[in-house]
Amino acid sequence: MTNRLIYRWSKRILSIFMIQIKSFFSILSTSIPTPLSWLILLVLNISFRLFPYVIIRSCDIVTNRTFILISLIFICLYKVYKWLNPDPKYELDFTGDIYLDDVSQLNKTRISSIFYPRTVNDIQYLIGKARSENKTISVRGQAHTMGGQTLPCRKRSSTNYVCDLKYMNQVEYDQTSQEVLVQAGTTWTNVIYKLNFYGRSPVVMQSYCTFSVAGTLSVNAHGITSDDAIYNSVISIEYIDINGKEQECSREKNQELFSLIIGGYGLFVIITRVRLMTVPNIKTTLEYIRLQ
């Protein structure tokens, strides 16, 4: 056997060996609470079945059972160590400063942390964390305030948490009741697109559609399509209170809090979902008249 042929076969066997090692890593990467001795014996049993002895002198080092035994014991010990001491899921950098502003770009404020919840459980966790660490929470939807209303107090920058609801943006339409249930961070654009499939539209709409529903609710904004305020189209509000409990209010249930939430600038609870009335779409036309 020539040196070139030996080298070629050695390279091929090494590649096969590395593939096997990778497969072992993938198997061992799963977190199975097995005692170390059982895990090592299991891997060794499988390895001696998968690795036949190859009679090529230049490859004895990678097919020798002693070498395989030592290598697998080392791999098992390493994987068990990584299982007992996992790497952090996220790399956090607490050395920098976080600054937020609203759409006016005139209210730059330093904060402690910003959170982007996607579920009710995320908000409940945030409330519990803030209570245990004596932090304050400011809530915002799409940050379209002009006077810093959704920003925390600048004097307490080290204790300010900001809860940004823009990722809570699901819209559900009930064809039976003709009501729409929207999450707090949903923009009116999403609500209009969803309702348009059913030939419906919101009762009250503003001049712009980029605001969040909860943000509009928190200032009790009026509309351009009627003289009504957003209050007139709200059926019920789901929210998380200061104790982290998920509750609901309406004109019939907990009426006082219902009136405080609407126009309350997020000072009382964190809104999670809002149920709204809808009306049929109305076809409009634009007429252009040129004056002489």
Classified as helix, coil or strand, 169 is coil
Tokens of 204: 């009250």
Read off the pLDDT of residues 225-283 as tens digits, 9 standing for 90 and up.
666 788 889 999 999 999 999 999 999 999 999 999 999 988 899 999 999 999 998 87
Backbone angles phi, psi at 205, to 5 degrees: -125, 145
How far is 252 from 248, CA to CA, in rounded Å?
11
Read off the pLDDT of residues 79-102 as tens digits, 9 standing for 90 and up.
777 766 666 544 444 445 788 888
Give CATH for domain 171-280: 3.30.465.10
- 115 with 240: CB under 8 angstroms? no
How far is 175 from 180, CA to CA, in rounded Å?
9
Residue 232 confidence (pLDDT):
87
Backbone angles phi, psi at 113, to 5 degrees: -155, 155
How far is 93 from 72, CA to CA, in rounded Å?
36
Residue entry with tokens 């209009």: 192
Residue 14 confidence (pLDDT):
67
- 191 with 170: CB under 8 angstroms? no
The pTM score is: 0.63
Residues 6+ apart with CB under 8 A from 116: 164, 166, 167
Read off the pLDDT of residues 133-166 as tens digits, 9 standing for 90 and up.
888 898 998 888 877 777 877 777 667 889 999 9
Mean pLDDT: which of 8-17, 30-39, 52-61, 102-111 is highest? 102-111
Can you spell out the DSSP letters for 81-118? HHHHSPPPSS----SS-EEE--TTS---EEESEEE---
Domain segments of the chain: what residues?
A: 1-84, 98-164, 171-280
Residue 250 CB: number of other CB atoms within 10 A? 14
CATH number 3.90.870.10 given to 98-164: no
Residue entry with tokens 């097995």: 34
